[in-house]
Amino acid sequence: MIRPHRLLFTAAALALSVCPAWAGVDFSHQIVPILRKHCADCHMGEKKKGGFSLNDRVALLKGSENGPVAVPGKAGGSRLLELVLSTDPDEQMPPKGARLTGDETELLKAWIADGLPWEEGFTFSKPSYEPPLRPRRPELPPVVDGRENPVDRFIDKYFSDRKLPRPAEVDDGAFLRRASMDLIGLPPAPAELEAFVKDSDPGKRARLAGSLLARDTDYAEHWLTFWNDHLRNDYAGTGFITGGRSQISQWLYRALVTNMPYDEFARELVAPPKDDSAGFGAGIKWRGEVSAGQTVEIQFSQSISQTFLGINMKCASCHDSFIDRWKLTDAYGLAAIFSDKPMELYRCDKPTGKSAVASWVFPELGNVDAAASRPERLNQLAALLTHKENGRFSRTLVNRLWHRLMGRGLVYPPDSMGMQPWDADLLDFLGADFQDHGYDVKRTLVLIAGSQAYQMRAATLARDADDKGFVFTGPRAKRLTAEQFVDAVWAITGTAPAKPDAPIQRGKPAPAGAAELQGQWIWQPLGAQQPPPGETLAFRRTWTLGGKPVRAGAVVTVDNEYDLYVNGARIAGDKDWQTIDSVPLAGTLKPGDNEIVIVGKNAGSGPNLAAVYFDAAATLEDGGRSRLVSDTDWQWTATLPDAAGKFPPGTVWAQASEINGPWTANKGGEIKSLLAAVESGPQPMVRAALMKADFLMTTLGRPNRDQIVTVRPNDLTTLEAIDLANGPVLAGLMDKGAENILARNFPTPEACIQWLYESTLCRRPDAAELSIAKESMGGHLTVQGISDLLWMLLMTPEFQYVR
Amino acid sequence: MNFEIDPTAPHSIVRRDFLKKLALGTAAALAAGEPRLLSAATGVIQPAPTADACILLWMGGGMAAPDTFDPKLYRPFKPGLAIKDTMSTFPDIETVVSGLRISQGLENIAKVMDRGTLIRSHIQPDLGSILHSRHQYHWHTGYVPPQTVACPHLGAWMAKVLGPRNPVIPPFINIGQRLEGVGEQEELKAFTTAGFFGSEFGPMNLPFPEAAAQSVRPPEGMDPGRFSSRYEQFKRLVKAGTQTSFVSDYQQESMLRSMENAHRLLNAKERSAFDINLEPKENLAVYDTGRFGRGCLLARRLVEAGARFVEVTTEYVPFLNWDTHANGHTTAADMKKQIDAPIDRLILDLEARGLLDRTLVILASEFSRDMMMEGKPGSNAADQTTEAVDVMTELKHYGLHRHFTAGSSVLMFGGGMKKGLVHGATSPDRPSVTIEKPVSVIDLHATILTAMGISPKTAYDVEKRPFYATADGVGVPVREIFA
């Protein structure tokens, strides 16, 4: 039993310890509300009664037409305080309405005594720019020099209006690398470079974007990074261990690989039709209690505003924003749409006694019905967000795309869509064009990347170039994201991991009506009991091919574990039946008879169902096709093969039996689409965006996704450079990668050097570079020489930036 | 009384350098669109530092004050003992400070208690159901998660505002905490970062002190000759390149400068500070009680070489070390063996080298523990002990198995703190809540930052909002403990 205690006093002291009064005056939280409440009508914005404006500190210090009203540090004799305290109706301030309370005057006094601290850059005046909400469809400027792409028509006008020279174009190699890195996140292979340079078609550059974007999987697995950042989705992170957060990985992947229209995309995130897209809106719920400004409802308000509208609702989650027009009621209005119970408005974590009313930020387009049910409200919000008159929604996204491709947004930073764009007509055109063409993200990417403007050489600038206002003089070089860097290293060195961490099914989902699965789930015939844990059986079947296979692959899984042997060689294995494996077979199959053996093992703690599923397809040289699936034609034995996949003489085989279980219902779709992919060729390299962040990626700026991150750091830091110089992850990749490169058997060191330059920088070395590289490489090719030169190339700014 | 110094008074050299750095830093940061220091306009005056370096000894998992630095009613274990009848599981011992008693097992630290201040009234907020990593996030950043921006670690504030003491030694070094392969690793990573300051100010992580030397050596299997020649060739190659005109000079220069800084450390003589095996054998043996003890030695060597902020942790791993959900007495005895001799020697070593006066050493934990109470009186925190009994029958029941947030102990040595002082008190009776001079996390931060010469009101601009060194800039240093 706990005795009553002096605890109450302690608790009171604790509450005080967060009261700002202890530590001098807090301008933003204590003074701004007083000034706004009592002085705004006459002394803010355009109003300047008595010649006195309170818009900013300079105006305050200047005082009125009668001289200064407040001197920093001198509260005694301050005209401002005199007027506020005065009871003379002719001079008291404010002249009408409620007088200041005792607390309020004390705060003003303390503020003056403190030296009138003012938030830097803060002003009470209305912002000079208010962005349009509705879409605008500006007329296209005339075509100049046959440059017809609408982007170029705007940019050419921009240049001619400002009498700026049109920047030169980059060469083919730099252009190919730029487009490839920007659109699919991979460096072009030397063969692609050669083909592109050789192609004499003048339309090849304009066409490149389209052909890169047609690589659905590459596109999806590159832009996954962008969207994981914007939707703070990851495969491990804060909140997952306590079940306070859920992934949207599979939903997101499918949305990207199918190029889901962006309005539909946003609607499914805001008002999820199924659980698989709910994680973004639901946010992160920490175990225990959180401050009023960080509940999941407020997170919803902040996330929706930031990602889809470029609105910073973080200030307004706590109090009316000092920096833009958003108010506490706006933040809570969005939160209340999401909330499943009535919400009280908290200001600076203190209850106000007022209730939040579900509403959204642009009521001029309509509003949600606060009385409707939660799912209805979310649907209404989704509809308003993607309303055809909501130009802000499209502008926010096209600006983000422009930022990714051109290095700096038309509005910058891209989360501050209230700022003035440097070319409003171009932004509005792109937004409306995007909307008018079905919110097709790839189409807008082609529009931008197909322009001549995108082919301009990157602007080279001094660090402070933008201080006096941004001027567009060409695209900006962009630092590679961690994922682009790692993908490039993996692609060049052949060291990508075998399996993704992301719980997703790669590639395009099988089209509806794709061939039904033909295989059966097999095991030995069931006895009275289900198979015991640890039961291990071997299954076999001969696959006879009528010719040389040019493409072949199998989809295989076993509840619970398996090893797969083809013609005596173990080629795959897995301990988790939930992971369906696709195994390329073209190199291991031969014309004629092929022996397929699967050793399957049951797991668990008691008897439970076990089964093998195998489904393989091969395309032969003559175009003929062959398929082999697990069924009751397979044989099983309890005798297990040796390391070479051989069975002892006298092994007894019996017919396998079909087992009915829940597998096909759960995994059938995935198997179908993997099979479609495996038949069409080998799986593409596993990409960094599909992996959990490792030390190397963290080093290179992949963020912890507790918060939405829309702009990655642009500078390499010293600690990062130490990791690049001696970190074990990159060093390991260099060692293994150099062996792989050596195994390519280049005829001369020069050939290898050229290949390395083409692979990393998309160009050949010039004479001086070649001579240094040769010297570093030594007289003949070695793992060490290759590893060191590759490292040097990866460390160059030219590699680490998309220029 | 104004604790902040008079701006017209003469300052130390350190301070003048500091201001110069601030001026430069601000100009560069402004241009780069990085977090901007908001000091000029709001009139924040940086206090004169009483310490130049800081070592945080982190007792991860919740160190029970009644079994360490704030002993209470003790009853030895015997089957049938009711948990309500005892508050400590160790007898108390005397220390070199007259009248100050701490817990058995800390005999070495007892000898140096006259070099520091013991705060017995450190309190944490009630966050409802308790999650260690969440309280650790709060303790290390001063902000309760979740937050709308990634908050910088205390060490990152020092790295950002003060910069390195020696340009080749990273200013923020974190020793002993694995961030991979342990429970709650993502939650730990969330605060082991410079947050929105950017990774330049983030931690150099050295989870294994005995292997720290490897992190400043060429990669495994590469001899130093090859390592330096690779870098020399790289510089020649970059210089020879003719294709560099498509990236702005400042971008290239910043990248090349970072490479240069990195290689400077990797070739500097200070590198030897990372190698604890270079320590005389006798001294190494005193520190060698485990990873924590070796971490203390590494911290001392790094501070000697010029590190700004070093954290050494006993390591937080759920249900291990100080995180005693069962068998608390036995575990606490073991933990005390790990920390007692190394901390004593660390203080004496710093003193012998004349460093203690300007090095602030802090020992702290995310909260305390109690045998009966979870959270604090009135909290709705769910009980998390794995051995819920009212009457003990086995030794494993004997220990402080619940998380307690109303009164924990913090030790502060050197760096301008009073010597031999006890600040604040907890109740002698259960629940042993703070009854005198409560020190919140935010005020403790204000104290630490003030000692380092950083005003608790120092703010940076992020997403156009001020972000303060202590939440809302309201942390107040505990003035009474400054010498």
pLDDT bin (cut points 50, 70, 90) of residue A512 is: low
* Cα angle: B87, vertex B91, B94; to 5 degrees: 125
Residue A702: partners with Cβ closer than 8 Å, 6 or more residues away: A481, A482, A483, A693, A712
Give the torsion sign (CA, A645, A649, A653, A659).
negative
| Overall average pLDDT of the A8-27 stretch | 39
Closest partner residue to A731 (CB to CB) among B36, B219, B262 is B219
pLDDT the model gives residue A2: 36
Determine contact: B258 vs chain A, CB below 8 A: yes
Residues of B with CB below 8 A from A415's CB?
463
Task: Give the nearest chain A residue to B27 (CA atoms).
Answer: A464
Residues of A with CB below 8 A from B32's CB?
463, 715
Determine contact: A168 vs chain B, CB below 8 A: no
Which range among A228-242, A460-474, A647-661, B110-124 shows the weakest confidence by mean pLDDT?
A: A460-474
Q: Are A42 and A51 in contact (CB under 8 A)?
A: no
Question: Which residue type is seen at A37?
Answer: K
pLDDT the model gives residue B286: 97
Strand partners, B309: B54, B172
> Residue A769 and residue B240: Cβ atoms within 8 Å?
yes
pLDDT the model gives residue A6: 32
| Overall average pLDDT of the B345-369 stretch | 98
Task: Give the nearest chain A residue to B430 (CA atoms).
Answer: A2
Which range among A274-278, A663-667, B355-359 shows the weakest confidence by mean pLDDT?
A: A663-667
Half-sphere exposure of A73 (CA within 13 A, CB side): 2
pLDDT bin (cut points 50, 70, 90) of residue B31 is: very low
Determine contact: B266 vs chain A, CB below 8 A: yes
pLDDT bin (cut points 50, 70, 90) of residue A20 is: very low
User: From the CB of residue A117, how many other CB atoms can be counted at a distance below 10 Å?
Assistant: 20
Q: How far apart are CA A670 and CA A644, in angstroms?
A: 31
Which residue out of B2, B166, B247, B366 would a mutagenesis test of the A interface target, given it has the greatest number of A Cβ atoms within 10 Å?
B247
Query: Percent helix, strand and coil across chain A, each rounded to 5?
Result: 40, 10, 45
Q: Is A636 left (phi over 0), alpha (psi -120 to 50) or beta?
A: beta
pLDDT the model gives residue B14: 32
Chain A 240-269, residues with CB within 8 Å of chain B CB atoms:
240-242
> Residue A17 and residue B184: Cβ atoms within 8 Å?
no
Q: How far apart are CA A786 and CA A751, in angstroms?
A: 12
Name the residue with tokens 């004169």: B48
Residues of A with CB below 8 A from B456's CB?
23
Chain A 305-334, residues with CB within 8 Å of chain B CB atoms:
312, 314-315, 317, 323
Q: Please provide the average confidence, as pLDDT, over all residues in chain B.
A: 88
User: Does A461 have pLDDT greater than 90?
Assistant: no
User: Does A640 have pLDDT greater than 60?
Assistant: yes
pLDDT the model gives residue B35: 64
pLDDT the model gives residue A122: 72
ipTM over 0.85: no
Q: What is the DSSP letter of A74?
A: B
Which tens digits make up the pLDDT trace of A252-296?
Answer: 999 999 999 999 999 999 999 999 999 999 998 877 777 787 899
Q: How far apart are CA A754 and CA A181, in angstroms?
A: 20
User: Does A135 have pLDDT greater than 70?
Assistant: yes
pLDDT the model gives residue A514: 54
Q: Please provide the average confidence, as pLDDT, over all residues in chain A.
A: 88
In DSSP notation, A631-698 reads STTSEEESSPP-TTSPPPTT---EE-EE---SHHHHHHHHHHHHHHHHHTSPPPPPPGGGS---HHHH
Buried b (16+ CB within 10 A) or exposed e, B226-261: ebeebbebbebbbebbebbebbbebbbebbbebbeb
| Overall average pLDDT of the B444-458 stretch | 96
Q: What is the DSSP letter of A242?
A: T
pTM over 0.80: no
Chain A 653-692, residues with CB within 8 Å of chain B CB atoms:
none
> Residue A286 and residue B474: Cβ atoms within 8 Å?
no
Which tens digits make up the pLDDT trace of A177-218?
Answer: 999 999 999 999 999 999 999 999 999 999 999 999 999 999
Which range among A311-325, B103-117, B344-358 shows the weakest confidence by mean pLDDT?
A: A311-325
Buried b (16+ CB within 10 A) or exposed e, B375-407: bbbebebeebbebeeeebeeebbbbbbbbbbbb
Q: Are B243 and A763 in contact (CB under 8 A)?
A: yes
Which residue out of B244, B464, B476, B478 would a mutagenesis test of the A interface target, given it has the greatest number of A Cβ atoms within 10 Å?
B464
Chain B 82-111, residues with CB within 8 Å of chain A CB atoms:
none
Residue pairs spanning A and B at CB distance below 8 A: 303
Residues of B with CB below 8 A from A721's CB?
258-259, 261-263
pLDDT the model gives residue B243: 64
Which tens digits make up the pLDDT trace of A525-564?
Answer: 988 888 999 999 999 999 999 988 877 888 898 988 999 9
| Overall average pLDDT of the B385-411 stretch | 93
Q: Are B170 and B310 in contact (CB under 8 A)?
A: no
Residues of A with CB below 8 A from B434's CB?
10
Q: Are A787 and A795 in contact (CB under 8 A)?
A: no
User: Does A10 have pLDDT greater than 70?
Assistant: no
Residue B194: partners with Cβ closer than 8 Å, 6 or more residues away: B152, B153, B156, B159, B160, B172, B200, B201, B202, B203
Chain A 408-447, residues with CB within 8 Å of chain B CB atoms:
413, 415-416
**A62: its two tokens:** 């200047």
Q: Are B199 and B171 in contact (CB under 8 A)?
A: no
User: What residue segments make up the domains of chain B, in order of their start?
Assistant: 12-44+457-483, 220-267, 270-305
Q: How far apart are CA B139 and CA A668, in angstroms?
A: 49
> Residue A460 and residue B443: Cβ atoms within 8 Å?
no
pLDDT the model gives residue A226: 98
The CA distance from B246 to the nearest CA of chain A, in Å, is 6
> Residue B145 and residue A286: Cβ atoms within 8 Å?
yes
- Most confident of the following: A334-343, A469-478, B193-202: A334-343
pLDDT the model gives residue B245: 66
Determine contact: A284 vs chain B, CB below 8 A: yes
User: Does B419 have pLDDT greater than 70?
Assistant: yes
Q: How far apart are CA A801 and CA A181, in angstroms?
A: 10
Helix (H, G, I), strand (E, B) or coil at A717: coil
User: Does B12 have pLDDT greater than 70?
Assistant: no
pLDDT the model gives residue A85: 86
pLDDT the model gives residue A680: 62
Chain A 460-479, residues with CB within 8 Å of chain B CB atoms:
460-464, 467, 476-477, 479
pLDDT bin (cut points 50, 70, 90) of residue B10 is: very low
Pairing of strands B465-468, B459-462: antiparallel
Determine contact: B25 vs chain A, CB below 8 A: no
Q: Are A434 and A420 in contact (CB under 8 A)?
A: no
Residues of A with CB below 8 A from B236's CB?
772
pLDDT the model gives residue A667: 80
Q: What are the phi and psi torsion angles at A797 (to 5°)?
A: -55, -35
Task: Give the nearest chain B residue to A12 (CA atoms).
Answer: B438
Strand partners, B468: B459
User: From the CB of residue A471, how many other CB atoms can be counted at a distance below 10 Å?
Assistant: 13
Nearest residue to A609 via CA among A519, A672, A522, A541: A522
pLDDT bin (cut points 50, 70, 90) of residue B43 is: low
Residues of B with CB below 8 A from A174's CB?
246
